[in-house]
């Protein structure tokens, strides 16, 4: 069997260790489609997978990486054939099923999206799970009735993966974007992505959540959660919606019913893991066309090799991310 390289996590005495190891195809889990991986990326879940209390990996040893793009080598499913270019994200990939930090991956066909026209494999992984989640968020806001003339749209955590892509997609579609970030050095980055207003974290949440505050934004994309999300809800305009997908500031949202019953505010949950395949395909088609950022290369914070991954896994947990860390296999 062909030998190949993969990053393997092991756990010993409550410590997680990462090593580049040589595997064979026999080491891969069951799946309909064998993929030669070209690109993957580092996501918040991947960073969590690298620590003992991350609560992501179900069993060790394990190959992490929740997204990948590559070329089909063999397929037992008639929907895919050798040479097809594909994207695989979400479901159990990088959680309980070996993921993208490997030169080869074997994935169930039902978890795979054909690469849409308009995207290369590299572009698909620059977008990755973060960009896909951002696109789901923007699509849901638009499906709920949001239009550019309604007013500014807030994006929290704007320098992170989801936030960066949300800023760019909204700007591309003609929306006025207010970008909130805790990084004072990110002004040029966010302006280049299309942000029209730059806000600090304190501009959104100053340490106290009001039941209702002045309505500032027509809608919001929130990847932060916690008190920040509660504060955003209290500052949406009448009928506004927030698409929520993250929890970097915590899982508890200390809000009241007032934004919902006095302003008709909507809290829209965004799940990129188990969303239906029809929605998944449609969203990737949007990312290849009307949602596609103009300068995708600008989202790359760094392009690294598989050997470099262990040194970069903690980056997202340390709050140092700005855009996407791309892994070239």
- Rounded mean pLDDT, 129-155: 97
Per-residue pLDDT reduced to its tens digit, 211-260: 999 999 999 999 999 999 999 999 999 999 999 998 877 889 989 999 99
pLDDT of 323 higher than 80: no
Mean pLDDT for the chain overall: 93
**SS3 state at 267:** strand
- For the chain, the residue count is 329
State if pTM tops 0.85.
yes
Burial grade of 101 (CB within 10 A; 0-12, 13-18, 19 or more): buried
Report the candidate in 211, 242, 200, 237 with the shortest Cα–Cα distance to residue 225. 242
Tokens found for residue 36: 């030669």
pLDDT of 87 higher than 90: yes
Which secondary structure element, helix H or strand E, spans residue 268, and what is its range? strand 266-269
d(Cα 141, Cα 1) in Å, to the nearest integer? 48
Question: How sure is the predictor about 142, in pLDDT bands with cuts at 50, 70 and 90?
Answer: very high
Lowest mean pLDDT, pick from 231-240, 261-270, 290-299? 290-299
- Rounded mean pLDDT, 89-97: 95
How confident is the model at residue 294, as a pLDDT?
A: 82
Per-residue pLDDT reduced to its tens digit, 157-216: 998 889 999 999 999 999 999 999 888 788 999 999 999 999 999 999 998 999 999 999
> Which residues, including other chains, have CB under 8 Å from residue 155's CB and lie 6 or more apart?
163, 166, 167, 170, 177, 178, 179, 180, 195, 220, 221
Lowest mean pLDDT, pick from 26-30, 120-124, 165-169, 181-185? 181-185
pLDDT of 306 higher than 70: yes
pLDDT of 320 higher than 70: no
- Rounded mean pLDDT, 258-286: 96
pLDDT of 1 higher than 70: no
Question: How sure is the predictor about 100, in pLDDT bands with cuts at 50, 70 and 90?
Answer: very high
How confident is the model at residue 83, as a pLDDT?
A: 98
Question: How sure is the predictor about 25, in pLDDT bands with cuts at 50, 70 and 90?
Answer: very high
Which secondary structure element, helix H or strand E, spans residue 280, and what is its range? helix 277-288
CA distances from 66 to 102, 128, 251, 282 (A): 11, 9, 21, 20
- Rounded mean pLDDT, 276-303: 93
CB under 8 A, 24+ apart: contacts of 146-150: 146/175, 146/218, 146/219, 146/241, 148/173, 148/174, 148/175, 148/176, 150/218, 150/219, 150/237
């Amino acid at each position: 069997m062909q030998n190949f390289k993969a990053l393997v996590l092991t756990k010993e005495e409550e410590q997680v260790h990462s090593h580049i190891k040589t595997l064979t195809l026999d080491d891969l889990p069951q799946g309909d489609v064998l993929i030669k991986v070209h690109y993957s990326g580092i996501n918040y879940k991947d960073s969590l997978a690298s620590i003992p209390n991350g609560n992501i990996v179900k069993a060790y040893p394990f190959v992490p990486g929740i997204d990948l793009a590559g070329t089909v080598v063999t397929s037992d499913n008639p929907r895919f054939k050798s040479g097809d270019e594909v994207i695989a994200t979400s479901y159990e990939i990088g959680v309980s099923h070996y993921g993208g930090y490997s030169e080869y991956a074997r994935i169930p066909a039902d978890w795979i999206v054909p690469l849409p026209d308009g995207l290369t494999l590299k572009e698909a992984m620059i977008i990755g799970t973060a960009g896909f989640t951002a696109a789901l968020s923007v699509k849901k806001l638009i499906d709920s009735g949001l239009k550019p003339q309604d007013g500014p749209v807030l994006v929290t955590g704007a320098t992170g993966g989801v936030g960066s892509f949300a800023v760019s997609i909204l700007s591309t579609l003609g929306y006025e974007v207010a970008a909130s970030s805790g990084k004072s050095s990110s002004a040029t980055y966010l302006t280049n992505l299309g942000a029209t207003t730059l806000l600090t974290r304190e501009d959104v949440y100053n340490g106290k959540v009001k039941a209702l505050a002045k309505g500032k934004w027509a809608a919001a994309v929130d990847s932060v959660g916690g008190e920040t999300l509660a504060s955003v809800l209290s500052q949406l305009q009448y009928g506004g919606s927030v698409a929520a997908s993250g929890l970097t500031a915590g899982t508890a949202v200390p809000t009241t019913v007032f934004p919902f019953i006095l302003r008709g505010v909507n809290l829209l949950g965004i799940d990129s893991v188990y969303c239906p395949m029809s929605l998944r395909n449609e969203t990737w088609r949007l990312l290849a066309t009307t949602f596609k950022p103009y300068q995708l290369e600008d989202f790359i914070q760094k392009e690294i090799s598989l050997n470099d991954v262990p040194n970069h896994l903690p980056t997202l947990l340390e709050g140092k991310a700005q855009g996407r860390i791309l892994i070239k296999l």
